[in-house]
Amino acid sequence: MNDKEVIARRVAKELKDGDRVNLGIGLPTLVAQYLPSSLHVFFHSENGIMGMSPLPGEGFEDINLIDAGGRPVGALPGACAFDSAFSFGLIRGGHLDVTVLGGLEVDAAGRLANWAVPGERIPGMGGAMDLVTGARRVIVAMLHRSRTGSKIVSRCSLPITSIRRVDLIVTELAVIRPTDLGLVLEETAPGVTVQQVVDATSAPLIIGPGLTA
């Protein structure tokens, strides 16, 4: 199992029956593949679909049915399509239960940076600002470290997406919950020790109940 699959499988466990869930571009789109068959979740994409599903199989691609990243997707029976204005009305109106977003950095205050890297050409923030602000619950699904170091830092060096604190960070090493007191390490991945997570993290961590340093 590769690191991204570990993350996607763990995030899938956070979803509940009936949830309306937005999946961000990249790693978060993998979450839909790991839902239990008994769980009924309505996946949303900000380009205008509710009821999105993974592509049924090769050859089912339709250029008119894609996610926000331009990747072909499927649709569940009863799915609906709408324009971008309606889609962002759902987001900004607080009608999404969960958004799962990738991250470049999350800091000790739980603030997410996920839209810009200085010196790289970018199209703009897209819907990330709206999703972090409008969804009832924000889960960040990302690798714990980049080539240059930890992605969980004391203070973001990259432009932040929103001043709102995210609700949960899931990496291939750990599950971390931002709180008023700081970042609480709630869970380590199978085979990973608390010390390994601490060593891989630039921000201070509070060791949660049931874990020992």
- CATH, residue 130: 3.40.1080.10
The reply to whether 180 falls in a domain is yes
Per-residue confidence (pLDDT) for residue 188, from 0 to 100:
97
The reply to whether 119 falls in a domain is yes
Per-residue confidence (pLDDT) for residue 68, from 0 to 100:
80
Per-residue confidence (pLDDT) for residue 127, from 0 to 100:
87
The reply to whether 115 falls in a domain is yes
User: Residue 141 to residues 19, 121, 124, 208: CA-CA distances in angstroms?
Assistant: 18, 23, 20, 20
**DSSP calls for 143-196:** -SEETTEESEESS-SSPPS-SSPPSEEE-SSEEEEEETTEEEEEEE-TT--HHH
Residues with Cβ < 8 Å from 119, sequence gap 6 or more? none
Per-residue confidence (pLDDT) for residue 124, from 0 to 100:
66
The reply to whether 213 falls in a domain is no
The reply to whether 53 falls in a domain is yes
The reply to whether 25 falls in a domain is yes
Q: Are strands 49-53 and 74-81 parallel, antiparallel or unpaired?
A: antiparallel
Residues with Cβ < 8 Å from 74, sequence gap 6 or more? 52, 53, 54, 55, 56, 60, 65
Residues with Cβ < 8 Å from 10, sequence gap 6 or more? 170, 175, 189
Q: Is the pTM of this model over 0.75?
A: yes
The reply to whether 107 falls in a domain is yes
> What SS3 class is residue 58?
coil
The reply to whether 165 falls in a domain is yes
The phi, psi pair for 20, rounded to 5°, reads -100, 115
Please indicate whether residue 5 is annotated as part of the active site. no
Number of structural domains the chain divides into: 1
CA atoms within 13 A on the CB side of 182: 13
Per-residue confidence (pLDDT) for residue 159, from 0 to 100:
92
Q: Show the domain range for 180.
A: 3-207
Per-residue confidence (pLDDT) for residue 137, from 0 to 100:
98
Marked catalytic residue, from 46, 61, 120, 187: 46
**Radius of gyration (Cα) for the chain, nearest Å?**
17
pLDDT-flagged residues of the chain (< 50): none
